[in-house]
Structure 1
Amino acid sequence: MPEPAPMIVATPDDAEDIAHLRNRLAQWMVDNGIGQWVPGEYPSTLVAEEAARGEWFVWREADMLAAAVRIVWRDPDFWGADDDTEAGYIHGLMVAPEQRGRDLGTRIIQFCADYTLANGVTLQRLDTAADNAVLRKYYTAQGFTELRETRLPPQFHGTTHVVLMEKMLA
């Protein structure tokens, strides 16, 4: 099992850093022909609202944002308004480019699983761009099963379809 991630609950004060990291990663995706995120589509004001609800977690090292992730308990935007399945829905899992190669993604996924279980929920869900073969393979290797493909919610623009994935937790 990977070493636990030193994640802490984000506050609205973290919103600018989280949005900035997302924009950096989105620009990298655009520059590398990956249709997943678009710079500027996830404003810091929205991140601040989500952080105020306790949905964002951050990993800081030397006062720099190394990684972030959002966990919610319902996800009608991606899974459908009629899906009332309780799960820990992972969104916006981000690792700063300069932190790559340290297996932080795996550690954050384990943090998400531990947090979900600690809240009495035994199912983890996420989505990824349907045409992002690298992330689909990565999440499959992390124990997630692909369930189906669906249209990307209209507020996002990086791609047209996402794959919905889930994993039962111990």
Structure 2
Amino acid sequence: MIITRATPTDLPLLLQYRQEAAGWLSNLGIDQWSNAFPEDHILASIKAGNVFLLKDGPRTAGTITLDSEPEPDLWTEAELREPSMHLHKLIVSRAYAGQGLGSRLVDWASDRTAQAGGRWVRINVWSTNERLQTYWTRQGFQHVRTVAGGGVGGAGVAGWLGQRPADRNDRHGLVEKLTDRADALE
């Protein structure tokens, strides 16, 4: 399988994946991604080169967003000074469920973060989604804290914050076919 960058033409597919994932989670009784997500936000991430697709030949098996921008007001100033990348919107198509692709994407994100000079891969998960928190713990993320209400600065989304050390690895076994871009941390 290969990793490619998403393009603006992939926006409908990415929105479909989010809707599919939200429906699957809802059927499990999990309130995650039930809110509408602004298309312009995803499009901006695509244009910034931060959205990636996991391709299995011509089919897309999953998607992941990896960038240097955390959700606002969740991480402290001291934490934000540590070089890190933030993992968002990891979705594996239900047609590929159960094949360990989520773990491979997380390992890829860890490797990519380390290559860019990052120390941590960070995530935030809805504080009400205990099953997803358990998933991330199994992926090697350590719970940093749960931010209730408005976050560190009083605005933003409440969330369970986790981080995992970035490490160079080839556990993911994925081949990158990315356009030429500067991928260093800011």
Q: Same fold (TM over 0.5)?
A: yes
Q: Equivalent residue for 1:43?
A: 38
Change in Cα spacing, 1:45 to 1:63, as seen in structure 2 (3 Å) is farther
Q: In the TM superposition, what is the alpha-carbon distance from 1:117 to its structure 2 partner?
A: 1.1
Distance (whole Å) between structure 1 residues aligned to residue 163 and residue 103 of structure 2: 15
CA contact (8 A) 2:74 2:159 kept: no
Question: Counterparts of 1:62 and 1:76 in 2: how far apart (Å)?
Answer: 33
Alignment deviations for residues 32-86 of structure 1 (CA, whole Å, 9 cap, x no partner): 32111116x1233321221000110001224332100101113142524745233
Stretches of structure 2 that go unaligned for 5 or more consecutive residues are 152-156, 168-186
Q: Is the 8 A contact 1:58 1:65 kept in 2?
A: yes
Quick one: which of 84, 87, 91 aligns to 1:90?
87
Name structure 1 gaps, 5 residues minimum. Answer: 155-159
Give the % identical residues.
Answer: 22
Which of 45, 51, 54 is the matching residue for 2:49?
54
Q: What is the match of residue 110 of structure 2?
A: 113
Deviates more, 1:106-115 or 1:77-86: 77-86
TM-score (norm 1): 0.83
- Residue by residue over 1:80-126, the C-alpha shift from the partner in whole angstroms, topping out at 9 and shown as x without a partner, is 47452331100000001111110001000011011111111121100
User: Cα RMSD between the aligned structures?
Assistant: 2.2
Which amino acid counterpart does residue 75 of structure 1 have in structure 2? Answer: P
**Cross-structure match for 1:65:** 60
Residue pair 2:17, 2:91 contacting (<8 A) in 1 also: yes
- TM-score normalised to structure 2 length: 0.76
Q: Distance in 2 between matches of 1:53 and 1:169?
A: 22
Q: Which amino acid aligns with 2:29?
A: G
Other structure's SS at 1:36 match: coil
Larger radius of gyration: 2
Segment of structure 1 superposing worse, 131-140 or 9-18: 131-140
Pick aligned residue for 1:34 from 30, 36, 40: 30
- Secondary structure class of the residue paired with 1:50: helix
Q: Aligned AA for 2:120?
A: L
Aligned residue pairs: how many? 160
- Secondary structure of the 2:2 match is coil
What does 1:1-170 correspond to in 2, within 5 Å?
A: 6-38=2-34, 41-77=36-72, 79-80=74-75, 82=77, 84-85=80-81, 86-151=83-148, 161-170=158-167
Q: CA deviation at 1:24?
A: 1.1
The alignment partner of 2:112 has SS state of helix
* Rounded Cα–Cα distance in structure 1 between residues aligned with 2:99 and 2:26: 23
